Amino acid sequence: MSLVTIGLLYGAATLVALFSGIPIAFALGTVAVAFMVVFMPGAAVGTVAQNVYEEMASITLLTIPLFILKGAAIGKSRAGSDLYAALHAWLHRIPGGLGVAVVVACGLFAAMAGSSAATCSAIGSSGIPAMRQRGYSPGFAAGLVAAGGTLGILLPPSITLILYAVAAEQSLGRIFLAGIGPGLLLTAMFAIYAVLRHRSEYRRAWRVAEAGGRRSAIIADDHFTLRERLYAVPRILPFLILLLGVMFALYGGIATPSETAGLGAVLALALIAAVYGAWHLSDLKPIFESTLGESGMLMLIIGMSLLYSYVMSYLHISQGAAEWIVSLHLSKWLLFTAIALLVVVLGFFLPPVSIILMTAPIILPPLKAAGFNLVWFGVVMSMIMEMGLIHPPVGLNIFVINKIAPDIGLKDIVLGTLPFVFLMTAAIVLLCVFPEIATAIPDWVYQK
């Protein structure tokens, strides 16, 4: 059987297995084992368990459960609402200050927790009601938190970036640093949008009020005394110290990424015990259960995706597909656009972890041959997958918002996220024109 036929069969079998509803981990494992049985020597089939163990027994990959534990510890505490409340107290003089506070809180929280869903849920559960109480439209409030949550897969310690570093064999420290510039760019773009949208809703509400209609809460001014502002600081200070301390440990050469993950998890648990008194079994049980539920599911997907990629590589499917893409002699940016569209489409159906591990062996060699910086591409790929978190049909963050704010209709949420999809597309274009937004920080830290 020709390589092309085997490759097409592999792709078709994967689609059938995934769309039949078999859990992703088992679907990928089934396809890989079936092709091993038919096309590979018997000895390879015999060592399938060892193969998965050896792929998973990577200390870089195993930082993932610990980063999830750190995120769960912070996410299950009141840190999220304290964070945005403190920022609001300090930013309330800016028009749309509450929206800006929510965006900045999302960015900071994402950098501590490393997870989009956790960020949306932690900031949104108190941030959305607060914004609505102050007259923000439901779609705007929902869209802002959904988009803010996406910063979780871009800012370190993003799980998506960890997997990309493993799949692309790039330095994790470099990739983490490369996510910071684009993460800040998106935070700034979201915040500016929040100000502009607030102004527009404010003006509309003012016109209605002037015409004798309902007086929206958005017109009312917030006021915080200096005492209130100062009182907000001590609650969030420990978490900012955790964030900066972990970054310092990682980049100051004190700790490796895996040690940073362990240290971060332990410090986060210690902090919520100290600040919120969350050290009883009843406090810790939900934290560990949600960590194990999410990380167990993800790690099995990762283990089986690695087996899937191993089979694809053994049968020369990935190399053949990569060579075929190179042989098309597409122009540099046409190749990039085609690959970006592929990632967008895959993002309709698959979580980022599977997309990265399944496609990396095929798409990275042509990109490298075309002269793209793979660290830069990792960040761009993450941004594309982030968009998948806030647009249908998957839109994980949309569903998280729907769960925490069930009174906002799904249509309102989707319409509210649309402007952010455009903003993210604009940020990707900016990153293509100015790749330094991503590469400057790692180049500076690592001296090229």
CA distance linking residue 272 with residue 264, whole number of Å: 12
Record the tokens describing residue 161, joined without a space: 């970036």
Query: Measured from the CB atom, is 43 or 226 closer to another protein?
Result: 43
CA of 321: how far to CAs of 3, 79, 198, 343, 423, in Å?
9, 47, 48, 16, 33
Q: Which residues contact 79 (CB under 8 A, 6 or more apart)?
A: 109, 112, 122, 236, 239, 272, 275, 276
CA-CA distance, 291 to 296, in Å (whole number)? 8
Q: Name the minimum Å distance from CB 248 to another protein.
A: 12
Q: Which of residues 414-433 bind another protein (CB under 8 A)?
A: none
Q: Which range, of 84-92, 292-300, 325-333, 359-367, touches another protein by CB under 8 A? A: 292-300
Distance between CA 178 and CA 443 in Å, rounded? Answer: 9
Q: Per rule CB under 8 A, is residue 325 in the interface with another protein?
A: no
Minimum separation from the CB atom of position 328 to another protein (A):
29
Interface pattern 119-138 for another protein (x via CB under 8 A)? --x-----------------
Given the rule CB under 8 A, which of 175-183, 210-218, 299-307, 430-438 is the region that contacts another protein?
299-307
Nearest to 213 by CA among 221, 201, 222, 204: 204
Q: What are the tokens at 206?
A: 């003012």
Q: What DSSP designation does 394 have?
A: T
Which range touches another protein (CB under 8 A), out of 56-64, 87-95, 139-147, 408-416? 56-64
Contact pattern from residue 167 through residue 206 relative to another protein, giving x for each residue in contact according to CB under 8 A and a dash for the rest: ----------------------------------------
Q: Quick one: CA torsion of 261, 265, 271, 274, rounded to 10 degrees?
A: -150
Residue/partner pairs of 20-28 with CB below 8 Å, 24 or more apart: 24/301, 24/304, 24/350, 24/351, 24/354, 25/297, 25/300, 25/301, 25/303, 25/304, 25/305, 26/304, 28/301, 28/304, 28/305, 28/307, 28/308, 28/354, 28/358
Sole binder of another protein in the list 41, 212, 371, 393 (CB under 8 A): 393
Smallest gap from residue 194 Cβ to another protein (A): 25
| Lookup result for tokens 């591990």 | 357
Q: Is 113 in the site for another protein (CB under 8 A)?
A: no
Q: In the block, which residue shows the tokens 């956790």?
A: 118
Instruction: Determine the length of the chain.
Output: 448
Query: Considering only 52-60, 92-100, 143-151, 319-327, which stretch makes contact with another protein by CB under 8 A?
Result: 52-60
The residue among 29 and 366 lying less far from another protein, judged by its C-beta, is: 29
3-state secondary structure of 408: coil
Count the site residues for another protein by CB under 8 A.
Answer: 70
Per-residue 3-state assignment (H helix, E strand, C coil) for 209-221: HHCCCCCCHHHCC
Choices 78-86, 285-293, 330-338, 423-431 (CB under 8 A): range interacting with another protein: 285-293
Sequence-ordered list of residues with C-beta below 8 angstroms from that of 363, at least 6 positions apart, any chain:
322, 325, 339, 342
Using the contact rule CB under 8 A, the part of the chain among 320-328, 346-354, 355-363, 369-377 near another protein is: 346-354
Stretch that binds another protein, among 54-62, 325-333, 374-382, 420-428 (CB under 8 A): 54-62
Q: Is 292 in the site for another protein (CB under 8 A)?
A: yes
CB contact at 8 A, 408 and 401: yes
Stretch 61-90: interaction string toward another protein, x if CB under 8 A: -x--xx--x---------------------
Question: What is the C-alpha to C-alpha distance for residues 229 and 200, in angstroms, rounded to an integer?
Answer: 27
400 binds another protein (CB under 8 A): yes
> Of these, 6, 7, 14, 29, which contacts another protein (CB under 8 A)?
29
- Least separation in angstroms between residue 13's CB and another protein is 11
Q: Which amino acid is at 37?
A: V
Residue 106 interacts with another protein (CB under 8 A)? Answer: no
Closest distance of CB 304 from another protein, Å: 9
What is the smallest separation between the CB atom of 121 and another protein, expressed in angstroms?
6
Site residues for another protein per CB under 8 A: 17-27, 29-30, 33, 46-50, 52-53, 56-59, 62, 65-66, 69, 117-118, 121, 249, 254-255, 258-259, 261-263, 265-266, 269, 284-286, 288-301, 303, 349-351, 393-394, 396, 399-400, 403
